[in-house]
Structure 1
Amino acid sequence: MKLGFIGTGNMASAIMGGVIKKNIFPAEEIIGADLFAPGRERVKEQFGINVTDSNKEVIEKAEVVILSVKPQFYADVIAEIKDIVKPEQLIITIAPGKTLTWLADQFGKAVKITRTMPNTPAMVGEGMTAACPNEHMTEEEIAYVKTILESFSRVEVVPEKLMDAVTAVSGSSPAYVYMMIEAMADAAVSGGMPRPQAYKFAAQAVLGSAKMVLETGKHPGELKDMVCSPAGTTIEAVRTLEELGFRSSIIEAMKVCEEVSKSM
């Protein structure tokens, strides 16, 4: 097996779908472990991968292993597998707050680890992932891990000191964006628009705006100014958002998120 997963939840599914779609690995070269039988049967049916209820079997068979369980289960999972992890294996983690130092202490030996922070838009191939390799990873191995991650996400290698900020700006931020889309749709419904149509208009506006930031390279403030005509509707909406603390509320929410990530 080339690729293994310990945990077969939503993020694991997003990665499986990406690597299979982009032909990074065929389904028959992927194995996923989950103690929850319906979870592993779901990914077997959806992707055609191999499944097992044994975490150790994944370690024994896979070259690259993604620890895709919830952060609170990391210590127990690592304690179970650490003695059979091979020196050449690549381990990818996706748990917020679990630092490279913490991971090294848990394994108790030299292990090739890349700490990552993906986000849920990976489920539709539009994720954003930060990657932070440890000192045991070679440049070729880092490039290999990036190829895997790029199958479902944009990827940036960042210093570990930025990982908590990454959690706030991309890991958790889809929730803030969904709240904004919901609020925009509520306002449109208040104006008489049917709700399904309101969600479509609001979501597409957010998608298109984000794409303009990424593809034009223009500063978000410049793009905002392009929409704000003198004495027009948009500048009045912007004035009201500023008056109500729109930017400040986002900044404060993200700082709280960052602090919680640091304490995990």
Structure 2
Amino acid sequence: MLSRATVGFIGGGNMGEALIRGVLQAGIVPAERVVVFDVSRERMKHLQAAYGVVGAETLAACAQAARVLVLAVKPQNMAGVLNDLADCVAHRPLIISIAAGVPLRTMEDALPPGVPVVRVMPNTPALVLQGASALARGRHADDTHMEAALTLFRAVGIAHELDEKLLDAVTGLTGSGPAYVLHFVESLIDGGVLMGIPRPVARDLVVQTVLGTARMVQETGRHPSELKDMVTSPGGTTIHGLEVLEKRGVRGAVMGAVRAATERSKALGS
């Protein structure tokens, strides 16, 4: 579907720009087949200068030119965007939304009958092309539409299809997850500083430790507990540190954070 398609972007903010950069770097479509509209003219000029994409004068012009249309707008702006789109998507482009908390049914009801819609929950590491995205298809989106959407989001990380009912859980897990990881990273750095390591050195050591550990899990395919046991010798330093984490309930606290964020996502969506 993407081989000859023009991909449009309504919204050229941080996430929209990350997707554009990823799509172009992956060679999915050339810059001349990427059309962007943003209410900020300065933002439009930046994207055109940085990536050589085509700027659209109006939202309607962008939508009418696109076979695949990404709505990279804030949730509070979606109602207005959908209202404007209703009159300019008679050609039934694939609509992909990254607006958190806006259900598929809401978008489908606002658009002409038969328009295929895919809803995506990305996360902020997509800004450095290391994102984790979950996608849910609407009633009119078929396998070809979903494959096109997955291809776009795999250009900025990994992407999986899930039922829409699980997107709140994804929000609580990977949508909020970067904040949990950063909180832990910050705590590790402070621990190093507490023990006398200069902060810039502690930061460098911790960041590399987190990156390397994540890569070990990813590349070996081994269970995290198995890899953990590799550095946990009997009576050694690591087991004494892990004892403190267990006593203070770090595992349960993290699981509870995912639950709390998931429930909040459900409440906001309703």
- Give the TM-score category using the shorter length: over 0.9
Kept in 2, the 8 Å contact 1:4–1:59? The answer is yes
2:263 paired with 1:259: yes
* TM, length-normalised to structure 2: 0.92
Equivalent position to 1:219, from 204, 213, 223: 223
Cα deviation for residue 39 of structure 1 reads 2.1
User: Which of 83, 88, 97 is 1:84 aligned to?
Assistant: 88
1:87·1:112 contact (CA, 8 Å) conserved in 2? no
Report the counterpart of residue 194 of structure 1 in structure 2: 198
Counterpart of 2:53 in structure 1 is: 49
Larger CA deviation: 138-147 vs 160-169: 138-147
Residue in 2 that maps onto 1:11: 15
Q: 2:174 aligns with which of 159, 163, 170?
A: 170
Aligned partners of 1:87, 1:163: CA distance in 2, in Å? Answer: 28
Q: Is the 8 A contact 1:97 1:263 kept in 2?
A: no
**Partner of 1:31 in structure 2?**
35
2:92/2:114 contact within 8 Å kept = no
Q: Provide, for residues 205-260 of structure 1, a one-character-per-residue CA deviation record: whole Å limited to 9, x for no partner.
A: 11121222222222212222222111111111111111122112211211111112
Give 3-state SS (helix, strand or coil) of 1:24's partner: coil
Q: 1:110: Cα distance to partner? A: 2.4
Question: What are the equivalent positions in structure 2 for 1:76-155 lying under 5 Å apart?
Answer: 76-107=80-111, 109-155=113-159
Distance 1:5 1:234 in 2: 48
Inter-partner Cα distance in structure 1 for 2:243 and 2:91: 58
1:63 maps to: 67
The 2-side partners of 1:86 and 1:172 are apart by: 36
Could you tell me how far apart the structure 1 residues matched to 2:166 and 2:126 are?
A: 20
Q: Does 2:159 align with 1:159?
A: no
Moved over 3 A (4+): none
Deviations 1:116-159 (A, max 9, x none): 11111112221111111112122222222221221112111111
Between the aligned partners of 1:86 and 1:199, the Cα distance in structure 2 is 53
CA contact (8 A) 1:19 1:148 kept: yes
| Structure 2: runs of 5+ lacking an equivalent | none
Separation of aligned partners in 2, 1:183 and 1:41: 40
Give the secondary structure class of the aligned counterpart of 2:87. Answer: helix
Conserved in 2, the CA contact under 8 Å of 1:65 and 1:90? Answer: yes
**Which whole-Å CA distance do the structure 2 matches of 1:56 and 1:194 have between them?**
54
Q: What's the offset of the Cα at 1:261? A: 1.1
The count of corresponding residues between Structure 1 and Structure 2 is 264
* Alignment check: 8 A CA contact 1:125 1:152 kept: yes
Q: Using the TM superposition, give the Cα deviation of residue 26 of structure 1 relative to its aligned residue in structure 2, in angstroms.
A: 1.2
Once the two structures are superposed, residues 156-205 of structure 1 have per-residue CA deviations (whole angstroms, 9 ceiling, x without a partner) of 11111111111111112111111111111122122232322222211121
Q: Which TM-score applies when normalising by structure 1?
A: 0.94
What secondary structure is seen at the aligned counterpart in 1 of 2:191? helix
- More deviation, 212-221/2-11: 212-221
Once residues 26 and 42 of structure 2 are traced to their aligned partners in structure 1, the CA distance between those partners, rounded to angstroms, is 26
Query: Cα RMSD between the aligned structures?
Result: 1.5
Residue 262 to residue 212, structure 1, CA distance change in 2 (3 Å): same
Partner of 2:236: 232
- Gap runs ≥5 in structure 1: none
Identity %: 38
Q: Secondary structure at the match of 1:192?
A: coil
Aligned match of 2:207 in 200, 203, 209? 203
